[in-house]
Each structure stands twice: as C-alpha cells, then as structure tokens.
A and B are shown apart, each in its own frame.
Chain A
C-alpha cells in the first residue's frame, strides 16, 4: 500500500467519523412537554395562560388551556417556540436550546410568556414533577421509571 493510498484512506475514515459525530448532534431526538402550569420565580407567581396556541419550529400548532401539557417530538438542540395568545397581539417567539443529554424536557409556556430565563423555561420532567408535588413528586417518578421497577423485581 502506497503512502498516498494510506493518507486517502485515513482521510476517508476521519471524514466518516466527523459525519457520524455531526449526525449524532443534529439528529438527537428529544420529547418536549409543552406545559402551561403556573410558575413561581423569586417569590413572584406567574399565572397559567387560559388558552394559547403553541408551535415548536414548523411542527403542527398545539392548542393548550391552563394547567395543560402536551408532548411533541423534535430533532436537534436549538428550537423556536411561537406562542399565540389569541387576543390579537403579535405572537411571542422564543429561541431555546435543550441540553444534549436531556431526552425529555418540560418547556414552560408560562415562563416563556413571562420572559423568564432558560433555566426556568426548560426543566427535566423530574424537576417539574418535584416542583408540582414537592418531595412527594419523587415517589411518583420512582413509580414511573421502568429501570427502577425492574431492579426492584430482581431484588
């Protein structure tokens, strides 16, 4: 094998690895739960919107009422949230990004309407449940997690 062909093959392998890494980041799937529960931030309570139409990227718009939650599947980390309050005002658009490791995330529409930071906008389902139910939320999460239930069976 000549040096030239070794270099060509090494470049091809490197290109394939790079493409694989790019695909990993671009194609990572996430389930977003669009949530309209009330949010309390630094002592201020932001009430749940009564009725909104929410759209993530160019997906099908979802109609939500107060204390509602709907799931949408998205690809990649950066997304655009468009909220139409239906009162004739201009729709609110918000860019956000989801951490790569977060398979599921709760997106607070209330926090987006209140203009809160990304840390309040995006929460893990565990954190959202704990916020809603306090310490009892952990109990509900344990009941739902399949890996936990299988390990308890083995014991």
Chain B
C-alpha cells in the first residue's frame, strides 16, 4: 500500500505540484470565477488541437516533438497568404490550411528523416532543428516575401517594400471558427465549433491507434529492434508519425491564431512548441506515455496558472511583472522537472529490473548448488 502510494506520487508529481500551486494562487489572485471559467473555456478550445498533435510521436517512441514548431511555421505562411489575398472568414482559414498542408508535409518529412538519423536523441535534435528552420523561415518571410514571392497587400509589407511586418492583423478571420455556432450559457461564451473540431481530432487519434499503422507505431515505440524483426518498416513509420504531428500542429496553429486575431510573424511559432509541451507534461504525460486526458488536464492547469499568476504576483508582491516571469519559469521549469523525473524513474526501473535479475540468478545458482549436493549425496 505504501509502495503504491509512493508510486502514485512519483507518477503524478507534476500534476500534484500544479494543483497545489493553483489552489494557492486562485484565492490570492482574487479573480472572479466567471472570468476564470470563460478564459479556461476559450483557452481549451484555442490550445487543445496543438497539444493533441504531440500524441502520435510519443506513441511512436520519439518523445516530445519539439519539431512541431515547423508545422506552426507552415500554418503561419498559409495565413500570411490568405491575408495578402484578402480572403476572409472561414474560407480564409480553410485556404490558409490548404496552402500550409504541402509545406507542413514537406517539413514533417525532412524532420522525420533527420530524426531517423538521430535515434535516441529525437527531442534535442527536434529542438535544434526548430531553431535551424526558424532561420530559414525568417529568411523567407523577411527577405523573400515581397521580392521573390509576390505580396500585393502594402499593409503586410515593411516600409522598405519587402519582408512581412512584425504583426499581421487577422481581424478578418478573428474567432471565425468560434462564431460558427454561437452559444452563451450564463454569460459565458462557449466556442462550440472549435470544441467540435477538437473532439473530431480526439476521435481521429482513438481511431488511428486501432489501425495497422497505429499498431505499428506502438510497436515501434515499445521496441524498435523487435519491430524491425517483425517486418515493420520502422523508419517509415517514424517519418509518418512526425509528418502527421507536423500537419496537425500546422492546423492547430491556424486555430490558435484565428482565435487570437493577431499573428506575431517572428514569434508566434516559437512559443507554440514550448507551451504545448509544457501543457502536456503538466497534464501528467511523460516522454514515453501520453493520453488524451493528459492533454485536457494539462491545458486546464497550465492556462489556469497563466491566468492567475500575474494577478497573484501583483497582490502578493505588488508587481504583475513577477507573475509574468513566473509564467516563463513555470513553462520551462516543468519541462525540465518532467524530463528529470522521467530519467530518474527510468534509471530506477532499470536498477529494479537488474536487481530482480540478480536475485533470480542467485536463487537459480543456489538451487543448482542444492541439486548438485543432493545428486552427489
């Protein structure tokens, strides 16, 4: 019983820490409940799709896909074109998604190919790959757009005549998906259509797990060597997992940005990866195991802390800025904490397995010795 309780605390350490933090921060922040509920409902719709895109690479044993930033970049390029051509509302979002799809698939393929050459170090490789692609993205958006790639809308371009401005106004698409089915309950707006999209995505993930490819991914995630011996194309399966994840991250970023109504051309994608991964880890996921409930628990806890921490910081210390620092600290800190816990747990498991083997070997040896004695007698 004591061991079970200890295991429970170890498995859910991050969730427990966050629940305690939020339970302490909410009363200090003095924020009205209705506001908190409204914000959480909005942020759940806005962020869940992005976080859900992380599940498949974890299933394929590739850890947390820091390369999802590539998908976010593709989504942003699609949005820039939709704004340039002045395509508004839902058609603008659909067009942005269609433009971004081949870019995301190509980037996902590149990412998957690179990660196949860095087996066992996928996360750090994905992280650095995102930095590299960020440079390429900036080259395209800052220099190629307006020169090689025609941009007609002068409001999008920098005053020098080429390169996209720091902020792209998405007011013509703002909350277009959320407003398809407007629903207000007790003064709280519920983005029904966005939730339907998220639900559809959950159904897709559940269905995908039951397909042949889904089974292959799980097998690859559990043991690459055994999967290869069983005839599963391991490298192809891993590439497919990353392509799907990148594509979903691309759509997730479009959903995220249409809700905000503003695109920070050079920053929005950078935050997507870190914040989504942090949210998933806070939900109780680990590098090797993640489920749909982890996504929703994580987004709720992470964003609840995001909402209350500035006010809590202001009320406690008199500075809202401290709350902002806290937010950054928490998002990076939780990733570090989760990785450390995962590494520690894996080491402990390996030691336990070795000890079990050792005990088993000693028992077998003593049994052999007893049998030997008996035979000689």
Chain A interfacial positions (CB closer than 8 Å to B): 16, 19-20, 22-24, 26-30, 73, 75, 103, 146-147, 150, 154
Contacts and interface: CB of A to CB of B under 8 A. Distances in A.
B197 interface: no
Contacts of B85: 24, 28
Contacts of B159: 150
Contacts of A146: 154-155
A68 B86 CA distance: 26
B213 to A, nearest CB: 14
B91 A16 contact: no
Contact of A27 (B89, B101, B155): B89
Contacts of B91: 22-24, 26-27, 75
B320 to A, nearest CB: 36
A20 B92 CA distance: 9
A147 B92 CA distance: 25
B86 A103 contact: yes
A15 B245 CA distance: 22
B13 interface: no
A7 B196 CA distance: 31
A64 B374 CA distance: 111
Given A150-B159, A150-B161, A27 B98 contact: no
A16 B88 CA distance: 18
B144 interface: no
Interface residues of B, number: 18
B201 interface: no
Given A19-B94, A23-B94, A73-B172, A28 B101 contact: no
A85 to B, nearest CB: 31
A19 to B, nearest CB: 6
A147 B157 CA distance: 10
Interface string B75-104: 000000000011111111011001101000
Given A73-B172, A146-B154, A150-B159, A28 B86 contact: yes
15 contacts: A16-B98, A20-B98, A23-B98, A24-B91, A27-B87, A27-B88, A27-B95, A28-B86, A29-B89, A73-B88, A75-B88, A103-B86, A150-B154, A150-B161, A154-B161
A28 to B, nearest CB: 6
Given A24-B87, A73-B88, A75-B88, A29 B101 contact: no
A127 to B, nearest CB: 20
Given A16-B98, A103-B86, A150-B161, A27 B154 contact: no
A23 B86 contact: no
Nearest to A30: B86
A24 B95 contact: yes
Contact of A23 (B87, B154, B155, B161): B87
